[in-house]
Amino acid sequence: MRKTSLFSVAMLALVLATSCCNEPKVKNVIYLIGDGMGFGAVTSLLLSEDEVTGFEQAPVIGLSETCSANNYVTDSAAGGTALATGTRTNNGFVGADPEGNQLTSVLRKAQEMGKKTGIVVNTTLTEATPASFYAGVTSRKMVFDIAKQFTESNVDVAIGGGLDHFIARPDSLDLTATLIEKGYDVFLNWETVLGTDSEKFVGILPLYDLHRREENNGTASAAEGQEVCLAAQLASLNEDVNTTHLSEPTVYLEKATVKALDILSRNNKDGFFLMIESAIIDGYGHNNDSDGMIVEMKEFNRTLQNMIDYVNNNPETLLVVTADHETGGTGVYYNGHKPGNEGPVKLNFSTSGHTGTVVPIFAYGPGAENFAGLMKNTDVPKKIEALMKK
The window from 168-176, 203-211, 275-283, 364-372 that contacts Zn ion (CB under 5 A) reads 275-283
Cα–Cα distance measured from residue 309 to residue 303, given in angstroms and rounded to the nearest whole number: 10
The window from 99-107, 109-117, 172-180, 281-289 that contacts Zn ion (CB under 5 A) reads 281-289
Q: What is the DSSP string of 327-345?
A: ES--EEPP---BTTBPPPP
Question: Number of residues in contact with Zn ion, rule: CB under 5 A?
Answer: 1
Rounded to a whole number of angstroms, the CA Rg of the chain reads 21
| Residue with Cβ nearer Zn ion (229 or 307) | 229
Q: Answer whether 158's CB lies under 8 Å from 202's CB.
A: yes
- Please state the closest distance from residue 228 (CB atom) to Zn ion, in A: 9
The window from 51-59, 94-102, 274-282, 293-301 that contacts Zn ion (CB under 5 A) reads 274-282
| Residue with Cβ nearer Zn ion (127 or 282) | 282
| Residue with Cβ nearer Zn ion (128 or 204) | 128
The window from 80-88, 235-243, 261-269, 277-285 that contacts Zn ion (CB under 5 A) reads 277-285
299 in contact with Zn ion (CB under 5 A): no
Cα–Cα distance measured from residue 160 to residue 155, given in angstroms and rounded to the nearest whole number: 13
Question: Which helix (H) or strand (E) is 46 found in, with range?
Answer: helix 39-48
The window from 20-28, 85-93, 279-287, 293-301 that contacts Zn ion (CB under 5 A) reads 279-287
| Residue with Cβ nearer Zn ion (76 or 257) | 76
| Residue with Cβ nearer Zn ion (73 or 146) | 73
CA angle 290–292–298, rounded 5-degree value:
105
282 in contact with Zn ion (CB under 5 A): yes
| Residue with Cβ nearer Zn ion (205 or 232) | 232
Under DSSP, the state recorded for 225 is T
Question: Which helix (H) or strand (E) is 348 found in, with range?
Answer: strand 347-348
Determine the residue with CB nearest Zn ion.
Answer: 282
- Please state the closest distance from residue 374 (CB atom) to Zn ion, in A: 23
296 in contact with Zn ion (CB under 5 A): no
Helix%, strand%, coil% for the chain, nearest 5:
40, 20, 45
| Residue with Cβ nearer Zn ion (108 or 354) | 354
Q: In what order do the strands lie in the sheet with 359-364?
A: 185-187, 201-204, 157-161, 116-124, 272-278, 28-34, 317-323, 359-364, 60-65, 373-376
Site residues for Zn ion per CB under 5 A: 282
